[in-house]
Amino acid sequence: ALQRDDAKASEAGLKYFVLGALSSGLLLYGASLVYGFSGAIRFDAIAAAVQGEAGTGVLFGLVFMICGLAFKVSAAPFHMWTPDVYEGAPTPVVAFFAGAPKLAAMLLFARVLAEAFPLAADQWRQVLILIALASVAVGALAGLAQTNLKRLWAYSSIANVGYAVLGLAAGTAQGVQAMLVFMALYSVSVIGFFACLAALSRNGRPLETLEDMAGLFQQRPWLSLALTIFALSGLGLPPFAGFWGKYYVFMAAVNAGDPVLLWSAVAALVGSVIAAFYYLRLVKVMWFDPAPGETDRPPVEAGAIAIGAAAFTFPVVLGLMPLIDRYAAAAAAALGLG
């Protein structure tokens, strides 16, 4: 809500505050139930108290905690704040929202489940699968109707969180590592995309709709190429980074040995195909539609961030592929998740 004279910004700030307080309430209520029925607040102590199948009270508390964390990562059906907040907030703030808090919250998600409730995986896996599939469905289908790029990428982020949660639902070390790889690659791509939006304007007005992006390739070819890479990466087209992130997540779900997870991965793949429409529509508008006017000269800093992120998303990540498994395993072990 930094732009106090903007009605959309004020609305975005209010919604984020109110719904954020609600999610914190759910998280704290769940934590209090877990403490009440386990008598512990440390993850290792909770794991020791919850031996075998978790009791009903602990499970209720865990479900509330999962719901609170799902708000933080904007996973469906707790995603309602995301499109309005993304649309109303300043573009640099949205870039931060879409990257850093989601990565931090997914790490907390993994630690709570893997450290405090490792023996209750059969119970929490069912909840995570539902959240993952709902997120992919909402992100893919609702995104088809969007014309504002911030709202479009909000639904894209909801779908991408669904893929990350699906990896976490595997309940294995491979699933945690797949989630870490996916979120790392996703964070670079989403920050680069919003850096492109921050760099683009026409007559002092930001370019925020699909119509604004028409003919951009003829005027700003490097930024258009960066946006194309981010769109194709979000689509999951090889050899872009988004493909490798989804590949790791789907393989973790398949290798978990649970038929439900296998079919969930198939359903998520179908959702990815549906979402391809709005990514390819953006590429088509930039490359083939006539431009409505000349764009302003982009700021050097934003353009450099965008092009650097695009370079990592396409060629650089290919050179890192042999090391990704090692780095992901080391990161998971450092977090106590390996």
Query: What are the DSSP calls for 116-148, one per residue?
Result: I-GGGHHHHHHHHHHHHHHHHHHHHHHGGG--B
Q: Between these two residues, 204 and 184, which has the higher pLDDT value?
A: 184
Average pLDDT over residues 201-217: 84
Give 53's pLDDT tier (boundaries 50, 70, 90). Answer: low
Binned at pLDDT 50, 70 and 90, residue 133 comes out as very high
pLDDT band at 140, cuts 50/70/90?
very high
Residue of 31, 49, 187 lying closest to 119 (CA atoms): 49
pLDDT, mean of residues 233-258: 86
The mean pLDDT value for 67-93 works out to: 89
**CA pair distance 259, 224, nearest whole angstrom:** 42
Per-residue pLDDT, 334: 67
The SS3 call for residue 202 is strand
Highest mean pLDDT among 9-13, 294-298, 312-316: 9-13
Question: In this model, does residue 323 exceed pLDDT 70?
Answer: no
Compute the distance between CA of residue 226 and CA of residue 5 in angstroms, rounded to an integer: 32
- pLDDT above 80: residue 36: yes
Q: What is the pLDDT of residue 320?
A: 62
Cis peptide before 77 (omega within 30 of 0): yes
Average pLDDT of the segment spanning 9-34 = 90
Q: Return the axis-axis angle of helices 149-169 and 121-142, rounded to nearest 10°.
A: 160
- pLDDT of residue 76 exceeding 90, the answer is no
**Measured between alpha carbons, how far is 295 from 141 in angstroms, rounded to an integer?**
31
Q: Side-chain half-sphere of 26: how many Cα atoms within 13 Å?
A: 18
pLDDT at 129 over 90: yes
Backbone torsion region of residue 204, taken as left when φ is above 0, otherwise alpha when ψ lies between -120 and 50, otherwise beta: left
Beta-carbon count within 10 A of 211 CB: 11
Residues ≥6 apart with Cβ < 8 Å to 190 = 95, 98, 99, 153, 157, 230
Amino acid at 263: W
Given a cut of 70, whether residue 284 has pLDDT beyond it is yes
Q: 0.75 exceeded by the pTM? A: yes
E strand or H helix at 205? strand 205-206
- Quick one: pLDDT at residue 234? 87
- Between residues 55 and 245, which one has the greater pLDDT? 245
Mean pLDDT over each residue of the chain, to the nearest integer: 85
